[in-house]
Structure 1
Amino acid sequence: MQKDKLLTAIVDDHPIVIEGLKNMLKNEPNIEVVGGFQNGAEILSYLETGNVDLILLDITLPDMNGMELCLEIKKKYRSVIVLILSNRTERSIVVQTIQNGASGYLLKNSSLDELRLCIAEAVKGSICYSKEVMEILSRPSRNELIAAPRLTKREKQILELIAQGKTSQTIGEELFLSPLTIDTHRKNLLQKFQVRNVAELIMSANRQHLF
């Protein structure tokens, strides 16, 4: 076996998909498929003793969610490259898997050329998507379609100070208000922007050019 070959594992709950990918990749000079696994437990067990450089991972598995499995693999085996190969087209799933450490996301109808390209990009440390996934990501999300909320002058003031990373205590001292009043404004801002935390609040306000 050549040392420059990527030892590749395929994780999919459909044996026919595993066999199809094995056949597709068998003539690739830089890839050696070390096995096909039909659930998360099997690949996690194999990783404890076997060497793997690249995992082609489906999102829908019988025993665990592929997004969670990706996160678990990357926590334990940081050098392993994970590429998602799935039929799931929800933008939120694509984004979450990349946040969980995946190096790319392809749909199962992708061509061999697209898969080759994504593998090459992932090896270089880049993140790569198939053409259809790029189109999904380019569409505005629900949050981006929501009109910018109307803010009072005080809320705009506090929002800018929050974006600067200042605490409620510090903001209260600057504006001669109690920290409790600032916390109330924070909660109101989260509700107005329909977000869950300060990080999302700042991202949403940035997208709507409020800074």
Structure 2
Amino acid sequence: MLQDKDKLSIAVVDDHPVVIEGLRKLLDQKEYLRVAGSFTTGGAFREYMRQHRVDIVLLDISLPDVSGMDLCKDIKLLYPATSVLILSNHSERSIILQALQHGASGYLLKNASATELMACIQEALGGQITFSKEVKEIIARPSATELKGIPALTKREKEILHMISEGMTTADIATQLTLSPLTIETHRRNLLQKFDVKNVAALIKIAVQQGLV
């Protein structure tokens, strides 16, 4: 029988006690795993990691005190050897991709089966990027933005788009480019129309997704 020090250390970070209890019961059945701890806040887990080794973390991205995305990024920055598996109810493709950009080793929805979860844990420990079956299907489906493709922009529109993304106002842009505010507003409206969005926040989001800013 493996000694605790020889087992892989796993932690659960989720603000729902029922979820934690279910995961602990499942993980405790695996001889090669040791449940290092369960935490309902990101702060408590951060404190724990300062003193203890954790090989893998099952992390929810909706936590009461911190963003799970930010916590994932911090974990990978400070403890690069720790694998982070996101376990969430959020099924938006953009959120899944953002988690990967923040260093997650995988992403599972909370409706994944116990078999799927254990398979993903094994793959993550083996250095692979891993997903539950439903997440694989979501990733395989292109978003509406990707299907539309990148709209054709003039050099001036690209310039103004970049300035908008930096938080510059119409007046600021007009002054810098020596153009009238009315001309800048016309370019703004054209950009919203080309990207088929209703506001600047949505415009910047799509521009970032498409690598334009």
Q: Give the TM interval when normalised to the shorter protein.
A: 0.7 to 0.9
Q: What residue in structure 2 maps to residue 99 of structure 1?
A: 101
Q: Give me the CA root mean square deviation.
A: 2.4
1:14 aligned to which of 13, 16, 22? 16
Q: What residue in structure 2 maps to residue 130 of structure 1?
A: 132
4+ runs deviating over 6 angstroms: none
Q: 1:125 to 1:196 in 2, by over 3 A?
A: same
2:62 aligned to which of 48, 60, 64? 60
Q: 1:6 to 1:199 in 2, by over 3 A?
A: same
Question: Distance in 1 between the 2:134 and 2:159 partners?
Answer: 38
Counterpart mapping for 1:109-128 below 5 A? 109-128=111-130
Q: Would you say how many aligned residue pairs link Structure 1 and Structure 2?
A: 172
Contact 2:11 2:57 in 1 (8 A): yes
**1:18, distance to aligned residue in structure 2 (A):** 0.6
Q: What residue in structure 2 maps to residue 88 of structure 1?
A: 90
Identity of aligned residues (%): 49
Question: Distance in 2 between the 1:53 and 1:116 partners?
Answer: 14
Greater displacement, 37-46 / 186-195 = 186-195
Give TM-score, length-normalised by structure 1: 0.73
Query: Unpaired runs of 5+ in structure 1?
Result: 156-181, 203-211
Question: Distance in 2 between the 1:146 and 1:198 partners?
Answer: 13
The amino acid across from 1:187 in the alignment is E
Q: What residue in structure 1 maps to residue 159 of structure 2?
A: 187
Contact 2:55 2:82 in 1 (8 A): yes
Question: Distance in 1 between the 2:77 and 2:159 partners?
Answer: 33
